[in-house]
Amino acid sequence: MTLTSLTIAEARKGLTEKQFSARELTDAHVRAMEALNPRLNALITPTPEAAMAAAEAADRKLANGGGGPLTGIPLAIKDLFCTAGVRTTAGSKILGNFVPPYESTVTENLLRDGAVFLGKANLDEFAMGSSNMTSAYGPVENPWKRAGGSNAVLVPGGSSGGSAAAVAAQFAMGSTGTDTGGSIRQPAAFCGIVGLKPTYGRCSRWGIVAFASSLDQAGPFARTVRDCALMLGSMAGFDPKDSTSVDVPVPDYVAACGRGVKGLRIGVPREYRADGMSAEIERLWEQGLAWLRDGGAEIVDVSLPHTKYGLATYYIVAPAEASSNLARYDGVRFGVREEGEDLIELYERTRAAGFGAEVQRRILIGTYVLSAGYYDAYYLRAQKVRRLILEDFRQAFQQVDALLTPTTPTAAFAQGEKMDDPVAMYLNDIFTVPASMAGVPAMSVPAGLDAQGLPLGLQVIGRHFDEETVLAVGQALEDAAGFTALPSVRAGAV
Ligand code: GLN
């Protein structure tokens, strides 16, 4: 067993038992990162020196019997989290020179608990996308390959594609992501790892570059459910600096993983049987339900009747909020500036040069649906439908404790596919968006491989602030699935 293939839980044990030092652990990951990142492009800004210094500080703490739950654990940080003194680009040219003077609350929490940061992970520009193809810093390669020697380069999913690829390729033990409509769950599914989007308000949004403020939520990626639980325990918590952060205690998420599913009622939303769902996704879903039934859960059919409006409302609400949030990038206060004859020209040139095509499309859609005359027809109506989607979940959770669905309608696709059809790209989010609209927690767990040898994920959705049940169900799936397949591009394998 090499250091890069350990889980976080195993690494913690090894560190406290002095089987290896934090320095050795980080050094192994830094070397793997240096070997793999030029190919995968998972990190925009690697910070190997800072990582080694942090590892040495971790060793000093460990030597004194101190340290927190993540002391010496090397993580990648999505480049949407502001990190003090470390460039934070949001995947955009417009923030190419932005070095925040402050630390986001979530990364501050991870640092407090001893984590070592390897660098800033690539993402779709301003977290808009499902493929990582919209990053101004180039696409990320998925470490998985189709079986049979195919050399098609696959996408890692998005928007947190770099975070997922770094963990799948085993050069980070875990990473942070953000999920607005699926950006943690979909890349986790595409890369064969675990990704958890907590309840809206569970992790502070303070210091995270905003995309759609009523939907954005930070969460962890790791290779096991327990490792995600451990990271969430560190990331979560009330933050007075975020007015939507909720003041509820942070429970012991790791303990929750061991609860089992005996006696739980698991709902199967019939509306998720989308037309044209592939037979293998259907089979995987049935298999997942069978595993939970074997573990003692009761499977119940439920209805979420407004699911069919999820995607349409999301693609009104999210661009509307984005168009407002992105108004601040005007070349005046921070970020890149293109000079102009007058102020208006400076704005126009800066925004034309600084934003990529997808971001411009979202700003246009968002501005349109918020404009006088269309506001009632689109934005207001979308908000009303959003409430109905939330009510669907409330109703369902009166009958069941959690829901099980597929995470994505397909496995990872090749770079370049779906690029000429934004709607085909948006369809990736069909199973993830409803939980985002309702603000409920949801997790993707790798559950099997498709006919091409690519990972597929199952999604567990829970009640507001009931990440514990989501984790318990996720752990049961992980135990039953015994998913041990590994991507061909990973530390020690190339
Ligand atoms: N793929 C979705 C979008 O493009 C979700 C992105 C996200 O969750 N940040 O908006």
Which residues, listed in sequence order, are joined to residue 444 by a DSSP beta bridge? 195, 459
For residue 361, the CA-to-ligand 1 centroid distance in Å is 13
Q: Is residue 341 part of a domain?
A: no
Q: Are 123 and 80 in contact (CB under 8 A)?
A: yes
The two three-digit tokens of residue 130, written as one number:
């499902």
The two three-digit tokens of residue 457, written as one number:
């994920």
Q: Does residue 429's CB lie within 6 angstroms of at least one atom of ligand 1?
A: yes
The two three-digit tokens of residue 304, written as one number:
């979420």
Which atom from ligand 1 is nearest to the alpha carbon of 182? 8
Q: Are 189 and 446 in contact (CB under 8 A)?
A: yes
Q: Is residue 471 part of a domain?
A: yes
Q: Considering its fold, how many domains does the chain have in total?
A: 1
Out of 159, 216, 316, give the residue to mutate to test ligand 1, the one with the largest number of ligand atoms within 8 Å of its CB.
159
Which atom from ligand 1 is nearest to the alpha carbon of 127? 9
**Interacting residues of 211 by C-beta distance below 8 A, sequence separation 6+:** 80, 126, 127, 128, 178, 180, 318, 321, 322, 325
* Its pTM surpasses 0.95: yes
For residue 315, the CA-to-ligand 1 centroid distance in Å is 9
Task: Give me the active site residues, please.
Answer: 78, 159, 183
> What is the three-class DSSP state of 81?
strand
Q: Does residue 211's CB lie within 6 angstroms of at least one atom of ligand 1?
A: yes
For residue 84, the CA-to-ligand 1 centroid distance in Å is 25
Which atom from ligand 1 is nearest to the alpha carbon of 158? 1
Q: Is residue 15 part of a domain?
A: yes
Q: Is residue 330 part of a domain?
A: no
Q: Is residue 200 part of a domain?
A: yes
**Interacting residues of 422 by C-beta distance below 8 A, sequence separation 6+:** 358, 361
**Interacting residues of 168 by C-beta distance below 8 A, sequence separation 6+:** 142, 143, 144, 156, 191, 192, 193, 223, 487, 490
For residue 392, the CA-to-ligand 1 centroid distance in Å is 22
Q: Is residue 306 part of a domain?
A: no
Out of 79, 80, 123, 124, give the residue to mutate to test ligand 1, the one with the largest number of ligand atoms within 8 Å of its CB.
124
Out of 183, 216, 408, give the residue to mutate to test ligand 1, the one with the largest number of ligand atoms within 8 Å of its CB.
183
Domain of 206, CATH number, reads 3.90.1300.10
Q: Are 298 and 313 in contact (CB under 8 A)?
A: no
Q: Are 159 and 189 in contact (CB under 8 A)?
A: no
For residue 424, the CA-to-ligand 1 centroid distance in Å is 13
Q: Is residue 76 part of a domain?
A: yes
pLDDT in tens, the chain (494 residues): 699 999 999 999 999 999 999 999 999 999 999 999 999 999 999 999 999 999 999 999 999 998 999 999 999 999 999 999 999 999 999 999 999 999 999 999 999 999 999 999 999 999 999 999 999 999 999 999 999 988 899 999 999 999 999 999 999 999 999 999 999 999 999 999 999 999 999 999 999 999 999 999 999 999 999 999 999 999 999 999 999 999 999 999 999 999 999 999 999 999 998 767 789 999 999 999 999 999 999 999 999 999 999 999 999 999 999 999 999 999 998 899 999 999 999 999 999 999 999 999 999 999 999 999 999 999 999 999 999 999 999 999 999 999 999 999 999 999 988 888 888 888 889 999 999 999 999 999 999 999 999 999 999 999 999 999 999 999 999 999 999 999 999 998 85
Q: Is residue 70 part of a domain?
A: yes
pLDDT at res. 494: 58
Domain that holds residue 90: 11-266+398-493
Q: Are 74 and 116 in contact (CB under 8 A)?
A: yes
